[in-house]
Amino acid sequence: MSPQARERAFESAKNDLIRTIRDSQSEDNARFRAAVREGIAQANRGEFIEEEEMDALLERMLRQGRKGW
């Protein structure tokens, strides 16, 4: 493979990786924004949970890692 062909292949792979990361971040951001909107809607309806319940929920989420959210 010529140096120019290697450089083109490297640039293409780099651009693919950048697109993948950007798309993943966009999806994460969209999920986060949707969850925030739902939380605000619940608060507006007066649907709250007790502090102890929230503490337990956060602890469970932290133990499970991101996949548990």
Burial class (CB in 10 A: 0-12, 13-18, 19+), 23: exposed
pLDDT of residue 68: 52
Rounded Cα distance between 1 and 34, Å, is: 47
Tens place of pLDDT for every residue, the chain, 69 residues?
Answer: 899 999 999 999 999 999 999 988 988 899 999 999 999 999 999 998 899 999 999 999 899 876 655
Write down the pTM of the prediction.
Answer: 0.51
Contact partners, residue 48, CB within 8 Å, separation at least 6: 42
pLDDT of residue 66: 61
pLDDT of residue 65: 77
Rounded Cα distance between 2 and 34, Å, is: 48
Rounded Cα distance between 22 and 44, Å, is: 33
